[in-house]
Amino acid sequence: MRLDKLLSHMGYGTRKEIKKLMKQGVVLVDGQVIKDSSVHVHPEKQRIEIYGESVQYREFVYLMMNKPKGVISATEDLVERTVIDLLPEEYLPFQVFPVGRLDKDTEGLLLITNDGKLTHELLSPKKHVPKTYIADVSGVVTQNDIHIFRRGVTLDDGYETLPSELRILEVDELTRRSRIELTIYEGKFHQVKRMFEAVHKKVVHLKRISMGPLTLDPELYPGDFRELTENELEMLKGRST
């Protein structure tokens, strides 16, 4: 890999800026000053330093975010604030993106990465990766709804969903509100909301708590994020293969 490309990928500036930086003699490879930005290096085998600090190269980053309400699952938008806007600048050179999407008013687990292969595996309709949500619903959710969801729900456009697992957590007969947990195995547009509309109920709050083997860290407040642990990443990659 070209040295200027590597350093740019790690957030040390544009290639033009890195070229100027290298002319100052502050970039070392295996202890030798390198001023030619086009030099090729092996980041896994060679020691690279800038201003005496070691450059720890990595190709991919994997972040777990507790997406808050009011931001959209996109990399950029001219009007709306995106989940990428919530990240510090150190991650921007990696050109990360959200894996799938959560609606603007939906919160919860969102994976952010620059690993296209893993993203494709997780979002492939053939994989049926489970996604679990907690929802507050206007209306009394019943055992009959559980049976309907278990068979598959016919949506407003005639599409019949895959069987899903609906669990009633709490029902308030007085206010006619319910809290449920729902696991689905696909990701159609507004699917959870449309499934409840099909049984004449309305989702008023929605939060995703898991995707595949990945479970939302309860210590992450809305808007917070952290990198995946090695164990989480191993489980995720194992699930996607």
* Phi, psi for residue 236 in degrees, rounded to 5: -65, -45
d(CA 225, CA 231): 17
Task: Give 218's contacts (C-beta < 8 A, 6+ positions apart).
Answer: none
Q: Is 138 exposed, middle or buried (0-12, 13-18, 19+ CB in 10 A)?
A: middle
Cβ proximity of 240 and 122 under 8 Å: yes
The C-alpha atoms of residue 109 and residue 209 are separated, in whole angstroms, by 6
Q: Which residues are designated catalytic?
A: 103
DSSP class per residue in 33-60: E---TT-B--TTTS-EEETTEE----S-
What the block records as the tokens of 9 is 């990928």
Asked if 149 and 164 count as a contact pair (C-beta separation under 8 A), the reply is yes
| Chain centroid, CA 81 distance in Å | 16
